[in-house]
Structure 1
Amino acid sequence: MKAFAKIFSTGVLMCAAFSAAANDNFPNRPIKWVVPFTPGGAMDSMARAIGERLAQNLGQPVVIENRPGAGGTIGSALVAKSEPDGHTMMIVSIGHAVNPALYPKLSYDPVKSFEPVSLVAIVPNVLVVGPGVKANNVSELIATAKAQPGKLTYASAGNGTTIHLGAELFNAMAGVDIMHVPYKGSAPAMTDLLGRQVDMMFDSVSSAKPHIDSGRLKALAVTTTKRSSVLPNVPTLNEAGLKGYELNGWYAVFVPAKTPRPVVDKLNAEIVKAIKHPDVAKRFSQLGAEPVGSTPEELAKYLGSEIPRWTEVIRSRNIKAD
């Protein structure tokens, strides 16, 4: 027993020494930051803003690698198979919680294949109606939809997108039937909304704000439980009468499963620090994003609540991927 105890104790000390060494030596080469969508979008902009600060603070380049396709699953699969040493990480959106229900044959598990690092930001969407809709608030919109089932239409950026999910959640909670018109991206959807081809849309606050300010669109409510700093005078859907409605367009950072905890903690500390930097905060504000920064445990808990929530919405509304 004494011999066993000695061996066990030696093993514990060796593991502790290895973890400390991993932390002290990290990073020892450039960090690859996978963005599973095309350049230029909100996710890409956030990664680049944070990555610039990380590179300065960690003393190694942070290389953004865009791997778009299949709703973000191609990039996520790449990271899931990468070496778990902290030199490969990814930023994902709410799609990370949605994809298991949309793509039942994923090559990775959204929870087990990754280690959570930090929740980065929350981006509200806003319910806007076009020039042809007379409703001035959510209650009037619901009344109009109930009086004319299937007549009103909403645009989305495609099946399974946040914009689509937000509208289907609205349909379900309000007990209305507003017809879905999917587009290949939010830009053409917005064009047709302004052109009166469709009646309403759940768009990001930063994208919709210029049209709201010009008076071409009416903002009825935002989708988060707190008002947006970009549109402080616009109520939440909860405030507007649809009690319990919540849709957060969120962004978070993950690394491959089995990445040493000291490395995860170091990345977490540096990412949270970067989010608070004035230059990063300014960029987030331009994107309509509310900066967060969390512990790995808080992100794990949040993801654990989001997956079953959106799985239920997708299955009950029979939503399919494009």
Structure 2
Amino acid sequence: MAPGFAQTDHYPTRAIKLYVGFAPGGATDQLARLYATRLTERLGQPVVVENRPGSGGNVAVQQLAQASPDGYSLVMAANYVAINAALKRNVYNWERDLAPIALIASTPNLLVVPANSSFKTIDDIARAGRKPDAQVTFGSPGMGSSVHLSGELFKLTAASPGLTHVPYKGISPAELDLVAGTIDLMFGSISTAVPLVESGKLRAIAVTGTQRLKALPNVPTLDELGMKGFNVEATYMVIAPAKTPAPIVQKLSAEIAEVSRQPEVQRAIENLYAQPLTGGPAQTRTFLKTEEAKWAELVKASGLKID
């Protein structure tokens, strides 16, 4: 066995780092901390969450791709891994450099504006974005995130070239600026946007998924509002470096699956307004391939380019 590799029969023998590519507070961070606590109990070694925000989650994934493939470095990632591949923004090749472990959950995004915004409907936003001097800003936790791509797809579908993307290093700082009115709108993360809507700080206009939210039953989907087929969701997963020994990948996948089956974990995921998912390495890899192909088709059709 190569130096530095875990003795798989006794894995793990020390702390495992679970990186998050965004600032604390968002859905990715909350899911990472939920699973870290449960996996610590099951594995008998600490699973420690470390936030490494930047580049729409890619800072953490790039660091993972360069880490030792010994099972002690993981990332709670999302479909930005595949989206950024379609946008040709990744400095890594996910198929070559990463080992998918397990699917965790999925959730749509929520189009929200400040509570005192003049925007009441998607038509209000679309018209404002078509004005010659339009300066309508939408925030996100980083380029290539589902929050960002929801905005880009809306911009394309609504033919509103005046919508301008403003990236942040996490959902929380973006939401702070949105509540303050520094930016105009956001296709926010459900887990943090819904409480802000319920508290009266934001107004919800539409859901990016295929179904209305139980928490906000009066808020329609974009598909209902005329943007037929509009469906953008964030899908969360755990990944490891490529060449992580198969027994470790299998052990991690099995332990994560056991955590995902726990009723209290499923309730916690649902409390984030997300849908629990199951699926091991093969299913996660298939999902990433499908997601990359989906967004590559959009990039080709629209000519979308991200600097």
TM, length-normalised to structure 1: 0.77
Do 1:124 and 1:228's aligned partners in 2 also have CA atoms closer than 8 Å?
A: no
For the residue of structure 1 that corresponds to 2:57, the secondary structure is helix
Which of 218, 224, 239 aligns to 2:224? It is 239
Give aligned pairs, total: 297
More deviation in 43-52 or 270-279? Answer: 270-279
Hey, what does 2:138 align to over in structure 1? Answer: 155
- Report the CA distance between 1:57 and its aligned residue: 1.4
Do 2:130 and 2:160's aligned partners in 1 also have CA atoms closer than 8 Å?
A: no
1:200-219 to 2 correspondence within 5 Å? 200-215=185-200, 217-219=202-204
- Report the CA distance between 1:73 and its aligned residue: 2.8
1:296 matched to 2:281: yes
RMSD: 3.2
Taking structure 1 as reference, are residues 126 and 255 closer, same or farther at Cα in structure 2, changes over 3 Å only?
same
Which of 75, 80, 95 aligns to 1:111? It is 95
Q: Given residue 258 of structure 2, which amino acid in structure 1 is its aligned partner? A: K
More deviation in 163-172 or 80-89? Answer: 80-89
TM, length-normalised to structure 2: 0.81
Taking structure 1 as reference, are residues 42 and 159 closer, same or farther at Cα in structure 2, changes over 3 Å only?
closer
Do 1:223 and 1:236's aligned partners in 2 also have CA atoms closer than 8 Å?
A: yes
- Report the CA distance between 1:158 and its aligned residue: 6.2
Q: Given residue 156 of structure 2, which amino acid in structure 1 is its aligned partner? A: A
How many percent of aligned residue pairs carry the same amino acid?
Answer: 38
More deviation in 292-301 or 229-238? Answer: 229-238
Taking structure 1 as reference, are residues 88 and 193 closer, same or farther at Cα in structure 2, changes over 3 Å only?
closer
Distance 1:82 1:318 in 2: 30
- Report the CA distance between 1:121 and its aligned residue: 1.4
More deviation in 260-269 or 209-218? Answer: 209-218
Taking structure 1 as reference, are residues 122 and 194 closer, same or farther at Cα in structure 2, changes over 3 Å only?
same
Which of 310, 313, 322 aligns to 2:295? It is 310
1:188-267 to 2 correspondence within 5 Å? 189-190=174-175, 193-194=178-179, 198-215=183-200, 217-267=202-252
Larger Rg: 1
- Report the CA distance between 1:143 and its aligned residue: 6.6
Which of 112, 130, 137 aligns to 1:128? It is 112
For the residue of structure 1 that corresponds to 2:236, the secondary structure is strand
- Report the CA distance between 1:155 and its aligned residue: 2.1
Do 1:204 and 1:288's aligned partners in 2 also have CA atoms closer than 8 Å?
A: no
- Report the CA distance between 1:254 and its aligned residue: 0.9
Hey, what does 2:3 align to over in structure 1? Answer: none
Unaligned segments of structure 2, at least 5 residues: 1-5
- Report the CA distance between 1:187 and its aligned residue: 4.8
